[in-house]
Structure 1
Amino acid sequence: MTRYAVSGAGGFLGWHTRAALRESGVTVDAVPVGDAFDAERALAAIDGSTRAVHIAGVNRASDEEVMAGNIGFAEQFAAALRAAANPPPVVAYANSTQVGNGSVYGEAKARAAETLAAAARDIGAEFVNVSLPNLFGEHGRPFYNAVTSTFSHLIAKGESPTVENDKELTLLHAQNAVDLLTGTASVDRQADLEVVETVSGLLARLQGYAALYRQGEIPDVDSDFDRDLFNTYRSFTFPEQSPISLTRHADARGSFFEIIRSHGGPGQSSFSTTVPGVTRGDHFHRRKIERFTVLQGRARISLRRLFSDEVVSFDVSGDAPGAVDMPTMWAHNITNVGSETLYTSFWTNDIFDPQNPDTIAEVV
């Protein structure tokens, strides 16, 4: 069994790590650090693990707390590594590109890296030091994790953020950061996964997405960056902007309504019939955008954010058509709750690739 030991598993990047590893069936054991540190629990998580990933850190606090927190977390993690009878062969560290910039945070992250590298040498493990730039991704905390989260939150609420200090940002999606930390992507490829954008350019992109998405339209998501950034924005609109109302035109001949307008990139449309009482789906996507539209019949579309018990449901009908877009890393399904056959249209932003389906089984 493949098992990873992960510190900071409850934080932003930790959540993305657990979500990504769900695809490959990797078990994640949390390593408690800080005030919650328990030597026995930390050892139990690390001992026998396939890879140990240290993510936990402190980036917003007093200088003293930033320094003590980052170094202290690393020392606790290192102690558990050295205590393991069967230590992991790989130790990965979520470091920062701020190392060497003269900041307290940069110095603290550098010293933490030294602590972890020494522990890795002592146990004979490979040390993977991943210097992460500005991360963005679904469900980041506004006014804390990154400017992308703050902008997305404000724009989704109908506000107009302003740029006080325009500068260039090196941006990396959290799922790509996870791939680097877990070895799914080579650290040598990191530059290919990053995008440089100004703060004002980032804001303009997000505002452009929002203007189209308020009308139910999908912006140009041809590039991986635009797709990931749009998915990040969408996470701040759900469930308030769902379902998306569609205008139904009916006359003596029948009815007509548009399902989707996409402004760029590939796409694939599918159609299904579902008999009464049957449920389809029960899966999630890491990056794929998917839209469900009921054409005829009555259905209940249910969604659950990974690692949460709360389920969000929408009752939809072909008589008053509405589209529901599936947020990334939310399990979702559709159930025929009517007495007749259900007709449903499915649209995704990519063409299905059986070698990389991005469709991971997960019961709502």
Structure 2
Amino acid sequence: MSRFATTGTRGFLGWHLRAGLQDSGTTVDAIPVGEAFDLEQATGAIDGSSRAIHIAGVNRASDEAVTEGNIGFAKQFATALRSADNPPPVVVYANSTQSTNGSVYGEAKARAGDIVAAAAAHVGAEFVDLRLPNLFGEHGRPFYNSVTATFSHLIAKGESPTVEKDKLLTLLHAQNAVDLLVGAVQIDSLSALEQNETVSGLLGRMQGYAELYRYGEIPDVADEFDRDLFNTYRSFTFPSQSPIQLTRHADPRGSFFEIIRSHGGPGQSSFSTTVPGVTRGDHFHRRKIERFTVLHGRARISLRRLFTDEVISFEVSGDFPIAVDMPTMWAHNITNIGDDLLYTSFWTNEIFNPENPDTIAEVV
């Protein structure tokens, strides 16, 4: 089993890193930096690890805090790396494409990179300088991590963001950044994973998703960029916009209701029966969209965001049909809490691929 040592595990990209590594069985030893830095603890985390990743940084603060924070964190990481008796063979730095633009932040990231590179060379490790563009993804911090998080937050609240200064952005989903950081995808694949979009175009896409999703409809997610953006938006709507109410039509012949309207891309529907007292699921998805709809019987659908303890549950019945969509990187399950056989419909936005199931065991 591999073990990585990583700074910045409590931040946006660090959270995504831990989530992305759940399936591989790789453990992540956190290296606190700043005032929480402890050289003995940091050295112990790095010693014997297979990869050391430096993510921690400061991007929104005073010029002095940005400079001192980025350089100071890099020096702490480098000191621990030099102190390890058994340093890792690979050292990765989560750099920024802004490191060459001459800004205060860019200059600080560049200098931090030089510090980490020198330490990697000192211990004979391969140094990977990963220059990341604008990152977006689930559970970003609005008004801090990215404009995508800000737009998602505002739109989910029913507000109408505006674009003050339009420009072209280069965007990368956080889970793609994770694959690059951990070596699951080669660094020369970065450009193929990036997507260019204007700020106004980004806003238009997200408003389009919201207009459909307010009625429980799934937008066209055939393109992976749209899927990742939509999943980002969905993370800001849960649980306030869940469950999704479905309209049941009944007459003497029986009843009818729509389960889903999908506007594009592949999809797969399945059906299960569950005996009373039994639980299905206890897994999460990194990228896959999944919808549960109870057709008959009574059930409890429970969800828990990774690395948290709070569980959100919905009690549902086939007599009053509703749909519950599973946010990405939330563990989820469904339990038959009734006395009858439970009938459940499951829909996902992709055809199941046993080579890449994107279904990772995690107990709610």
TM-score w.r.t. length of structure 1? 1.00
Q: Distance in 1 between matches of 2:61 and 2:216?
A: 40
Secondary structure of the structure 2 residue equivalent to 1:265: coil
The corresponding residue for 1:341 is 341
Q: CA deviation at 1:62?
A: 0.8
Does residue 75 (structure 1) correspond to residue 75 (structure 2)? The answer is yes
Unaligned runs of 5+ in 2: none
The corresponding residue for 2:138 is 138
CA displacement 1:242-266 (0-9 Å, x = unmatched): 1100000111111100000000000
CA displacement 1:122-156 (0-9 Å, x = unmatched): 11110011001100000000110000000000000
Q: Distance in 2 between matches of 1:303 and 1:253?
A: 36
The corresponding residue for 2:319 is 319
Q: CA deviation at 1:44?
A: 1.3
Unaligned runs of 5+ in 1: none
CA displacement 1:177-196 (0-9 Å, x = unmatched): 11111101111010000000
Does residue 59 (structure 1) correspond to residue 59 (structure 2)? The answer is yes
In the TM superposition, structure 1's runs of 4+ consecutive aligned residues that sit over 4 Å from their partners are none
Q: Distance in 2 between matches of 1:61 and 1:317?
A: 49
Q: CA deviation at 1:100?
A: 1.5
Q: Distance in 1 between matches of 2:19 and 2:132?
A: 19
Q: Distance in 2 between matches of 1:129 and 1:244?
A: 44
Question: Quick one: which amino acid aligns to residue 162 of structure 1?
Answer: T
Written as runs of structure 1 = structure 2, the 5 A alignment for 1:217-228 is: 217-228=217-228
Q: Distance in 1 between matches of 2:287 and 2:297?
A: 29
Written as runs of structure 1 = structure 2, the 5 A alignment for 1:266-305 is: 266-305=266-305
Secondary structure of the structure 2 residue equivalent to 1:179: helix
Q: Distance in 2 between matches of 1:67 and 1:18?
A: 27
Written as runs of structure 1 = structure 2, the 5 A alignment for 1:195-214 is: 195-214=195-214
Q: CA deviation at 1:41?
A: 1.1
Secondary structure of the structure 1 residue equivalent to 2:29: strand
Secondary structure of the structure 2 residue equivalent to 1:80: helix
The corresponding residue for 1:160 is 160
CA displacement 1:80-116 (0-9 Å, x = unmatched): 1111011010000100000121101000000011001
Q: CA deviation at 1:305?
A: 0.2
Secondary structure of the structure 2 residue equivalent to 1:24: coil
The corresponding residue for 2:229 is 229
Question: Quick one: which amino acid aligns to residue 120 of structure 1?
Answer: A
Question: Quick one: which amino acid aligns to residue 299 of structure 1?
Answer: A
Q: Distance in 1 between matches of 2:22 and 2:44?
A: 21
The corresponding residue for 1:85 is 85
Q: Distance in 2 between matches of 1:130 and 1:348?
A: 33
Q: Distance in 2 between matches of 1:45 and 1:314?
A: 40
Q: CA deviation at 1:275?
A: 0.1
The corresponding residue for 1:306 is 306
Does residue 118 (structure 1) correspond to residue 91 (structure 2)? The answer is no
Q: Distance in 2 between matches of 1:24 and 1:288?
A: 17
The corresponding residue for 2:328 is 328
Does residue 26 (structure 1) correspond to residue 4 (structure 2)? The answer is no
CA displacement 1:168-216 (0-9 Å, x = unmatched): 0000000001111110111101000000000000000000000000000
Q: CA deviation at 1:23?
A: 1.2
Q: Distance in 1 between matches of 2:100 and 2:216?
A: 45
The corresponding residue for 1:186 is 186
State the aligned residue count.
364
Q: CA deviation at 1:66?
A: 0.5
Secondary structure of the structure 1 residue equivalent to 2:98: coil
Written as runs of structure 1 = structure 2, the 5 A alignment for 1:247-262 is: 247-262=247-262
Q: Distance in 2 between matches of 1:208 and 1:23?
A: 32
Question: Quick one: which amino acid aligns to residue 13 of structure 1?
Answer: L
The corresponding residue for 1:48 is 48
Q: Distance in 2 between matches of 1:155 and 1:198?
A: 18
Q: CA deviation at 1:304?
A: 0.2
Q: Distance in 2 between matches of 1:194 and 1:157?
A: 28
Q: Distance in 1 between matches of 2:329 and 2:270?
A: 21
Secondary structure of the structure 1 residue equivalent to 2:108: helix
Question: Quick one: which amino acid aligns to residue 288 of structure 1?
Answer: K
Question: Quick one: which amino acid aligns to residue 160 of structure 1?
Answer: S
How large is the Cα RMSD of the aligned pairs?
0.5
Q: Distance in 2 between matches of 1:268 and 1:220?
A: 15
Q: Distance in 2 between matches of 1:115 and 1:191?
A: 26
Q: Distance in 1 between matches of 2:44 and 2:242?
A: 43
Question: Quick one: which amino acid aligns to residue 343 of structure 1?
Answer: Y
